[in-house]
Amino acid sequence: MAGTLMALLFYLAVLVFAGGLLYRIAGYARTPAPLKIPTTPAPTTRSGVVLRMAREVLLFESLFKANLWIWGFGILFHFGLALVLARHLRYFTEPVWGWVDLVQPFGIYAGFAMALGLAGLWARRLFVQRIRYISTPSDHLMLVLLLAIALSGLSMKFIDHPDVVAVKRFFEGWLQLSFQPFPDSALLVLHLSCVALLLLIFPFSKLLHAPGVFFSPTRNQVDNPREHRHLSSWAAARYEGEGPRG
Amino acid sequence: MAETVVAPPLRVIPIIPELKPDAMKDVRSFVANEKIQTAIGFPGQLVDDWHDRAIGKMGELLEKYRSLKVYMDACVHCGACSDKCHYFIGTQDPKNMPVARQDLMRSVYRRYFTVAGKLFPKLVGARDLTRDVLDEWYTYFNQCSECRRCSVFCPYGIDTAEVTMAAREILDTVGYGQKYTNEIIGKVHSIGNNLGLPGPALIDTLQGLEEDVKEDTGVDVRFPIDVQGAEVLLITPSADFFAEPHIDSLIGYAKVFHAAGISWTLSSKASEAGNFGLFIGNYDQLRKIALRIREAALELGVKRIIVGECGHAWRVAYSFWNTLTGIGAGAEDPFALQLQRQLDGRYRQPTHICEFTWDLIERDALRFDKSANDQYVVTFHDSCNVARGSRMGDLMGGQFEIPRNIIRAVANHFVEMPENTIREKTFCCGGGGGLLTDDLIDLRVKGALPRMEALQEVAQTHGVNFMATICAICKAQFSKVLPYYNFDRRVVGGVHQLVSNAILLGPKQ
Ligand code: SF4
Ligand code: SF4
């Protein structure tokens, strides 16, 4: 019964997550950027922009310039999360991919890094006057949710091991639309419910910063307005037919 | 009003200031009257159905501008931008933190355009668009100079200027425009320039300048206007024609053209480089104002278009002219090709006057007596629109190097202000983006604080007594606010003012 519920919840969550995200991304992609507005100095070539974006996404370049505390906690959290996610691939693959095995030993440190980063970010939200001022309840709750995921995950490693073989059986079954028994563990229920909730709210929340950054015109445009005429579809249509002198 | 305004004390250590909520809530730029509004096609006063129209306009802009759409969603409230705005630093009003400024609009966006905000407004900080909210928009979106400093530091490149422009566009649509900017846009259409200087007065001024320069140098330096078939059309801010210190740079441009032996002309039709359409985020106005230059270029049959010292004008020229008017290269449509075939493709179109002068210097075509600037220890203030919204030359960052190269070529003493206040991290003068008006003098004085601190530092350590810049607004703003910080107003001047001092006009020995 618990297994069926959890499986259904995850189907729903993944559906909403993927569908919602695709919908939002399609919206960003469809909306034109009518003017050239890269924040300069900006790369003058496409490949330069790819590099800029890579530095932005992998190293948080702009954030580094802005504030070392936020950058540090942000890096801890995001890189921790990336490693932890990689580590979790073992629950969905058989045989487990080689590189997943390779990162396995780091996964545990990554879990702590993630929690530490989140705690740091939350502390700033609570104690730095400027950041407290701009925080909404949802900003706090988002951190609570992520911390709950991280801490419940870590607790299962260090305090109360669920039957990982059963977990894997459950998710392999889930992938093939077959309902398998769910291991009896309150921590696991908490952990997975929070993950499902996170997936559910992803397309409706500020977590959209993840796809958003790739569509940010100040970061993804090539600085070449004098060499190439950049015209949006709506502007072209709006002024069509006006004489060559406007 | 101006008498009661005092400059905030310079910070000894530049700590991030404490919040003073609502410190600037009563500093409201004058609202445009009916005549000003209707002259440029906006409703004369706040319309009855402002609420629905505002939300409708917001929806339209969200469909038209990817920047706005992404920026409304992407902010994570990390606060990295929160201490980066000169207006926040100078006023300590939390609503002048870039993220808080965006949130004025984001809260409304969430309420009307997102599921979360419709269902749980309190949770996600969503709110209805009430009259109070609209007033707050008017107040604080007219306390942003659209300088884009915040966008440099945001991990997603969120550009508050884009949000401010959208807000002003919405406010204009419901009849709640700002007097200063909208009045000037009216003038540019009816008279041809922002200062409302009619053609005959302009011709007089230019003749006077020719006499002055002749008296000064003994050389016949010309200031031609409306000359058919000239090689170069110079588009420069109208302040260059008679405001101090702007005019000294105009003299500098004329001397450079003279020394290089290149024929040039001004245009009485397009006697203004500035384009305040940018400030109100209105594409139609932006385009309409820019088209005057296209028309002048076609009528005069010029081969090159060069832009004088003006920050936002250079952003519009460099980044938007090709889009709006076809001044540029690489087009395939007949509208743009008509002009691009006429312009000489061997040159960058448009060219900044600094690019032009530096090219000549590199080719050894100009001669200088650098000692003519020996009374100055010079520093350079990067103007925000040049620094963060444009480029010069072929290389990334040319907009920083080229003006500095020119200064070093014409003056012996040059020093930089602190690193976090120059280049792409430069601080706005405090008067850009449509805020250069007396009714905002309090804001302008406070907003200049970070730049004044930086200037003070190099004045103390290096004896800096001249801050060169290439923006008409910066020049006007600093001339006005420098005295509040106990500097002489003549500390600010143009790069081509220094060029003018040092250039040698006689025949080569
Ligand atoms: S664009 Fe400039 S003035 Fe506006 S919020 Fe950002 S830093 Fe402040
Ligand atoms: S830096 Fe960007 S993401 Fe962070 S609070 Fe400012 S606008 Fe939002």
> What is the pLDDT, as a whole number, of residue A243?
52
Condensed to tens digits (0 to 9), the pLDDT of residues A7-36 reads 999 999 999 999 999 999 999 999 999 999
A236 occurs within a structural domain: no
B148 and B219 in a single domain? The answer is: no
B403 and B255 in a single domain? The answer is: no
Q: Say if residue B4's pLDDT is above 70.
A: yes
Contact A188, A149 (CB under 8 A): no
User: In terms of DSSP H, where are the helices of B246-347?
Assistant: 246-260, 283-300, 311-315, 321-325, 334-342
Tell me the two tokens of residue A118.
Answer: 């989140």
Q: In which element (H, E) is residue A220 found?
A: helix A217-220
Q: In which element (H, E) is residue B221 found?
A: none
A201 occurs within a structural domain: yes
Instruction: Assess B208–A contact: CB distance below 8 Å, yes or no.
Output: no
Condensed to tens digits (0 to 9), the pLDDT of residues B108-149 reads 999 999 999 999 999 999 999 999 999 999 999 999 999 999
Condensed to tens digits (0 to 9), the pLDDT of residues B232-279 reads 999 999 999 989 999 999 999 999 999 999 999 999 999 999 999 999
Instruction: Assess A105–B contact: CB distance below 8 Å, yes or no.
Output: no
B225 occurs within a structural domain: yes
Instruction: Assess B319–A contact: CB distance below 8 Å, yes or no.
Output: yes
Closest by alpha carbon to A63, among A209, A233, A169?
A209
Separation between Cα atoms, residue B11 and residue B80, nearest integer Å: 21
Collapsing DSSP to helix, strand or coil, B378 comes out as strand
Q: What is the DSSP string of B434-447?
A: T--SGGGHHHHHHH
B197 and B316 in a single domain? The answer is: yes
Average of per-residue pLDDT values in chain A: 94
By percentage, how much of chain A surpasses pLDDT 90? 87
> What is the pLDDT, as a whole number, of residue A80?
97
A50 occurs within a structural domain: yes
Of B116, B154, B332, the CB nearest to A62: B154
| Residues from chain A contacting residue B425 (CB–CB below 8 Å) | 65
B241 and B163 in a single domain? The answer is: no
Residue B284 lies in domain: 186-355
Single-letter code of the amino acid located at B83: D
Closest protein CA for atom 8 of ligand 2? B75
Boundary (domain end) residue, out of B152, B177, B202: B177
Tell me the two tokens of residue B159.
Answer: 């550009």
> What is the pLDDT, as a whole number, of residue B2?
46
How many angstroms does the Cα of residue B66 sit away from the middle of ligand 1? 19
B23 and B144 in a single domain? The answer is: yes
Nearest CA distance, B487 vs chain A (angstrom): 30
Cβ burial of B388 (10 Å; 0-12, 13-18, 19+) is buried
| Residues from chain A contacting residue B62 (CB–CB below 8 Å) | 31
Query: If contacts are CB pairs under 8 Å, which of residues 287-316 in chain B contact chain A?
Result: 287-288, 291, 294-295, 298
B326 occurs within a structural domain: yes
> What is the pLDDT, as a whole number, of residue A160?
86
- Give the other-Cβ count within 10 Å of A192's Cβ: 22
B164 and B21 in a single domain? The answer is: yes
How many angstroms does the Cα of residue B161 sit away from the middle of ligand 1? 6
Separation between Cα atoms, residue B310 and residue A117, nearest integer Å: 45
Separation between Cα atoms, residue A93 and residue A144, nearest integer Å: 30
Nearest-ligand number for the alpha carbon of A66: 2
| Residues from chain A contacting residue B152 (CB–CB below 8 Å) | 39, 62, 65
Closest by alpha carbon to B194, among B295, B298, B253, B278?
B278
Q: What is the DSSP string of B270-289?
A: T-----TTTTTT-HHHHHHH
Q: Give the DSSP letter of residue B484.
A: G
Task: Tell me the backbone φ, ψ of residue B305, rounded to 5 degrees.
Answer: -120, 125
Condensed to tens digits (0 to 9), the pLDDT of residues B187-220 reads 999 988 888 788 899 999 999 999 999 999 999 9
Closest by alpha carbon to B230, among B218, B238, B222?
B222
Condensed to tens digits (0 to 9), the pLDDT of residues B48-76 reads 999 999 999 999 999 999 999 999 999 99
Q: Give the DSSP letter of residue B483.
A: G
Q: Give the DSSP letter of residue A243.
A: -
> What is the pLDDT, as a whole number, of residue B300?
97
Strands B264-265 and B492-494: unpaired
Boundary (domain end) residue, out of B177, B199, B228: B177
> What is the pLDDT, as a whole number, of residue B508?
58
Contact B281, B181 (CB under 8 A): no
> What is the pLDDT, as a whole number, of residue B3?
54
Whether B79 and A226 lie within 8 Å, measured CB to CB: no
B196 and B302 in a single domain? The answer is: yes
Separation between Cα atoms, residue B134 and residue A137, nearest integer Å: 23
Instruction: Assess A204–B contact: CB distance below 8 Å, yes or no.
Output: yes
Task: Compute the average pLDDT of residues B20-27.
Answer: 97
Closest protein CA for atom 4 of ligand 1? B144
Boundary (domain end) residue, out of B157, B177, B197: B177
B264 occurs within a structural domain: yes
- Give the other-Cβ count within 10 Å of B261's Cβ: 7
> What is the pLDDT, as a whole number, of residue A245?
46
B252 and B393 in a single domain? The answer is: no
A245 occurs within a structural domain: no
B233 and B307 in a single domain? The answer is: yes
| Residues from chain A contacting residue B298 (CB–CB below 8 Å) | 245
Tell me the two tokens of residue A59.
Answer: 């190293």
A238 occurs within a structural domain: no
Separation between Cα atoms, residue B158 and residue B202, nearest integer Å: 41
Find the length of chain A: 246
Condensed to tens digits (0 to 9), the pLDDT of residues B317-361 reads 999 999 999 999 999 999 999 999 999 999 999 999 999 999 999
User: CA triplet B408, B414, B415: central angle to 5 degrees?
Assistant: 135
Number of domains in chain B: 3
By percentage, how much of chain B surpasses pLDDT 70? 99
Q: What is the DSSP string of B74-134?
A: H-----TTTT--HHHHHH--GGGSHHHHHHHHHHHHHHHH-HHHHH-TTTTT-----HHHH
B293 and B244 in a single domain? The answer is: yes
Residue A155's CATH number: 1.20.950.20
Contact A4, A191 (CB under 8 A): no
Residue A141 lies in domain: 2-25+46-221
Whether A138 and B123 lie within 8 Å, measured CB to CB: yes
Q: List beta partners, residue B469.
A: B494
Q: Cβ neighbours of residue B94 under 8 Å, at least 6 residues apart?
A: A130, A133, A134, B19, B20, B21, B88, B100
B158 and B229 in a single domain? The answer is: no
B59 and B204 in a single domain? The answer is: no
- Cα A51 to the center of its chain, rounded Å: 20
> What is the pLDDT, as a whole number, of residue B131?
98
Task: Compute the average pLDDT of residues B432-455.
Answer: 98
Contact A16, A24 (CB under 8 A): no
Task: List Cα–Cα distances, A117 to A76, B29, B148, B427, B509, in angstroms.
Answer: 5, 43, 29, 31, 69
Average of per-residue pLDDT values in chain B: 96
Is the Cα torsion angle B463, B468, B473, B479 positive or negative in sign?
A: positive
- Give the other-Cβ count within 10 Å of B91's Cβ: 24
Please state the ipTM of this predicted complex.
0.95
pLDDT band at A246 (very low <50, low <70, confident <90, very high): very low
B361 occurs within a structural domain: no
Condensed to tens digits (0 to 9), the pLDDT of residues B165-187 reads 999 999 999 999 999 999 999 99
Condensed to tens digits (0 to 9), the pLDDT of residues B475-486 reads 999 999 999 999
Tell me the two tokens of residue B444.
Answer: 């302008």
Number of domains in chain A: 1
Q: Which residues line ligand 1 (CB under 6 A)?
A: B 84-85, 87, 98, 101, 144-150, 160-161, 164, 428
Condensed to tens digits (0 to 9), the pLDDT of residues A48-79 reads 999 999 999 999 999 999 999 999 999 999 99
Task: Tell me the backbone φ, ψ of residue B264, rounded to 5 degrees.
Answer: -145, 165
B360 occurs within a structural domain: no
A213 occurs within a structural domain: yes
